[in-house]
A and B are shown apart, each in its own frame.
Chain A
């Protein structure tokens, strides 16, 4: 097996991670603030206007493009965005690039919390702050918040390094290609990186915490209730 999936010239171990690479970038761009949106993030602008008009303000070339549909799917256009279940629809960013699909039935931590707590809201409150096995030790609230500009830069750097490392290598099974990619990811996330002047894992968590705080503050100002 060689170069099963290519995103431009990027080497990835399977088709799913190629899709996730694209979705990661969409998700990160939703958390960025734009001059065209008066300094608001696309996330905030969408909630204020309750429509998707912000996308074409910043990316007019997306009109009639299938990419617009992906933005529509990922923008906070309905109330499900604010329910705990929405975490399972998020990408998890670069740290979760090689994970398969995640769903609630796989979440043994949440199941256990629901079992222990009669009050479902109390269970969710604990769950959202607890580092999860499903998302490379990110807490659900940080998965829900999503990444931003820095994580995007780190993602692209990582993919470049992975490509340099793997290009031309042959793998006899999909499993061995995924394992090698994940091993490389884990080593990368813990090593010092000049882009963030820290290790990528710490920098990603820090940026996601900032995004989370900004989102929660904004939702409170908008008087929107949120499980996170």
Chain B
């Protein structure tokens, strides 16, 4: 879509109908958004609350723009994500938008500080979100702020039940905690214990097996 053209809600409705065969209307736009969250219960819960809380400020245009934002994020279409984000700016702040932009800033542009700010904002909007804690743990490690990275990975473990993939998130966070004890603290006993805990939960967890092998080899 060209930036110079002023799009109306009708245009967005038409685009959604053509591209996704969904007739989005004033009556069903909230349901359409929630339908996109099928299988992602935590996110669905957030959107439910968000739409209730901000009911007075949301309208069909928001519904169309958010629908297109979600679809663009799914396709990893960075240009469209940024375009719809700009148009959604006039609506109340939203966790999913902040999280998605955090991810794009990190993985696409490598803007680490901007990404960190986005994930921190996302965490303000959705308290105790384990995915945000994991992302922040990853970022603080990149930034060489190791104690904060550890703190965030530990919180990601603690709140992992709230995520869409609790086991996966918990195990990869725990693995990063073990790596912290190896590389930063040189506390190999503690790392080994954490790695064994991971393997008790999933005996085939590749990364833990590899790290444990390396640890035993180095010891």
Contact = CB atoms under 8 A, between A and B. Distances in A.
Asked if chains A and B come from one complex, the reply is: yes
Interface of A: 13-14, 95, 98-100, 106, 131, 133-134, 136-137, 173-179, 182-183, 185-187, 189-191, 201
B112 A182 contact: yes
B143 interface: yes
Given A133-B145, A133-B148, A183-B142, A190 B109 contact: no
Nearest to A183: B142
B108 interface: yes
Contacts of A131: 145
B146 interface: yes
Interface in B52-111: 105-111
B106 A190 contact: no
B144 A95 contact: yes
Interface in B166-194: 183-184
Nearest to A189: B144
Contacts of B110: 13-14, 98, 173-179
Interface in B118-176: 140-146, 148
Contact of B143 (A13, A14, A133): A133
- The A contact surface, by secondary structure, is helix
Given A106-B113, A190-B183, A182 B142 contact: yes
Contacts of A106: 113
Contact of A174 (B108, B141, B145): B108
10 contacts: A99-B113, A131-B145, A134-B113, A174-B109, A175-B106, A175-B110, A175-B111, A176-B107, A186-B144, A190-B183
Contacts, number: 60
A99 B112 contact: yes
Contacts of B140: 133
B184 A179 contact: no
Among B108, B140, B142, the most chain A Cβ lie within 10 Å of the Cβ of B142
Given A100-B113, A178-B112, A190-B183, A137 B107 contact: no
B191 to A, nearest CB: 13
Contacts of B141: 183, 186
Contacts of A201: 144
Interface residues of B, number: 19
A136 B145 contact: yes
Given A190-B183, A190-B184, A179 B106 contact: yes
Given A106-B113, A187-B183, A190-B184, A137 B146 contact: yes
Nearest to A102: B113
B82 to A, nearest CB: 14
Nearest 9 A/B pairs, CB to CB: A178-B110, A136-B144, A175-B110, A182-B142, A175-B107, A190-B183, A175-B108, A173-B108, A174-B110
Contacts of B112: 99-100, 178, 182
Given A187-B183, A190-B183, A190-B184, A175 B144 contact: no
Nearest to B144: A136
Contacts of A99: 112-113
Nearest to B146: A137
A174 B115 CA distance: 14
Given A173-B109, A183-B141, 5 more contacts: A13-B110, A137-B146, A173-B107, A175-B110, A175-B111
Contacts of A95: 144
A176 B104 CA distance: 11
Contacts of A185: 144
B117 to A, nearest CB: 9
A175 B108 CA distance: 5
Among A175, A187, A189, the most chain B Cβ lie within 10 Å of the Cβ of A175
Contacts of A177: 110
Contacts of A133: 140, 143, 145, 148
Nearest to A191: B183
Among B105, B109, B140, the most chain A Cβ lie within 10 Å of the Cβ of B109
